[in-house]
Amino acid sequence: MATEILTLNNVTRIYGKEATQVNALTDVSLSITKGEFVSIVGPSGCGKSTLLNIMGALDQPTSGEVHFDGNSLDEMSRGELTDLRLQKFGFVFQAFNLLPVLTAAENVQFILQLLGFARYERQSRTREILDALGLVDVADRPATELSGGQQQRIAIARALVGEPALLFADEPSANLDSTATRELCELLQQINTDRGITVVTATHDPLVMGYTNRSIHLEDGRVVEDKSNP
């Protein structure tokens, strides 16, 4: 039996109060298995980001439970959730990903510094990952001088460098053209197959969905379809 790494049971997320409340997610139950490359798809406003944030321990459900590796996130303190994100998860966001005051390589090293690696270890690991993703050329460029595609690739390098169990990417290709989107998806696929890292990405782009081996369809905060892609 394949190992379930992340499990959601009857997760509901309601924003706001009373009159203005929005049911962003309603009664979502699903589990992610180790090694999967999953896409969460659906139109804008259907709850993809909300779901991803709850999975990534960035947000807490109004009701329902989330388990990572058999541990309930509900029972963890803020600090423990912060540590969990740092040590087990990698994040790639839609638009704003890099700290503008740092160079590309420093943005990658950032995670290793938070993790407390020594200088030499940080530098060699950073080199290694930039090398693997073909980003050595832009390593010393300020983050603000990178193209959109380069920024997203650096963000992926940063998400990977700490060797997380899970990588979350929320519409990583939203600001990219189709060529750059393809390159990005190939990269995610390569990470998934070569490094065995579980990848969960939200997208409304069928092109991205095509690369993944499972897609979960959301509509108005409910799972309407969950299927494997051959």
Partner 1 sequence: MKQSLSSRVSLIYALSVRNLWRQRRRNTILLVSVICAITGVVVLNSLIRGMQLQMVDQVVYNLNGHITLHAPDYRSDPAITRGFLEDFEEFTRKLDSENLAGWATRIKIPAVVMSERETRGVQIVGLDPAQEDISVVADLPIEGSFLANSADNRIVLGRALLTQLRTKIGHRIVVVMQDINSKSKEVGFQIAGVYDSDSEGMEKHVIFAGKGALQQFLDSKSITELSIRFNTRLIPPDGLESISQSFPNLETVDWKNIDPILAFMYESVNAMVYIWLAIVFTALVFGLMNTFITAVLERTQEIGLCKSMGMKSSLVLYQVVTESLIVMFLGLIGGLLLSWGVLQLLGDGIDLSAFAAGVEMLNLAPKIRPAVVWQDVSIVVIATVFLALVASLYPAIRAVRLDPLIALRD
Ligand X SMILES: Nc1ncnc2c1ncn2[C@@H]1O[C@H](COP(=O)(O)OP(=O)(O)O)[C@@H](O)[C@H]1O
Q: Which does 46 bind (CB under 5 to 8 A by kind): Mg ion, ligand X, partner 1, none?
A: ligand X
Q: Residue 22 or 207: which CB sits closer to ligand X? A: 22
Q: How far apart are CA 189 and CA 58, in angstroms?
A: 24
Q: Residue 14 or 165: which CB sits closer to ligand X? A: 14
CA angle 179, 184, 187 (to 5 degrees): 130
Should residue 121 be labelled a site residue for partner 1 when binding is judged by CB under 8 A? yes
Give the range of 10-18, 32-40, 42-50, 172-180 binding Mg ion by CB under 5 A. Answer: 42-50
Q: Which does 210 bind (CB under 5 to 8 A by kind): partner 1, ligand X, Mg ion, none?
A: none
Segment 29 to 48, residues that bind partner 1, using CB under 8 A: none
Helix (H, G, I), strand (E, B) or coil at 123: helix
Are 202 and 174 in contact, with CB atoms under 8 Å apart? no
Report the residue from 7, 39, 49, 53 that binds Mg ion according to the rule CB under 5 A.
49
- Which DSSP string do the residues of 50-72 spell out, in sequence order? HHHHHHTTSS--SEEEEEETTEE
Report the residue from 14, 33, 76, 86 that binds partner 1 according to the rule CB under 8 A.
86
Annotate each residue in 61-80 with x if it binds partner 1 (CB under 8 A) or - if it does not, as one string.
-----------------xx-
* C-alpha 29: how far from chain center: 19
- Which DSSP string do the residues of 4-19 spell out, in sequence order? EEEEEEEEEEEES-GG
Supply the minimum distance, in Å, between the C-beta of residue 85 and partner 1.
4
Residues in the chain, total: 230
Residue 55 C-beta-side C-alpha neighbours within 13 Å: 32
Q: Residue 127 or 217: which CB sits closer to ligand X? A: 217
Annotate each residue in 35-74 with x if it binds ligand X (CB under 6 A) or - if it does not, as one string.
---------xxxxxxx------------------------
Q: How far apart are CA 95 and CA 105, in angstroms?
A: 19
φ/ψ of residue 84, rounded to 5: -60, -45
Are 135 and 150 in contact, with CB atoms under 8 Å apart? yes
Supply the minimum distance, in Å, between the C-beta of residue 53 and ligand X.
8
Report the residue from 59, 105, 181, 200 that binds partner 1 according to the rule CB under 8 A.
59
Which structure tokens are listed for 227?
Answer: 């299927």
**Binding-site ranges for Mg ion (CB under 5 A):** 49
**Binding-site ranges for ligand X (CB under 6 A):** 15-16, 22, 24, 44-50
**Binding-site ranges for partner 1 (CB under 8 A):** 53, 56, 58-59, 78-79, 82-87, 89, 91, 93-97, 99-102, 106, 110-119, 121-122, 158
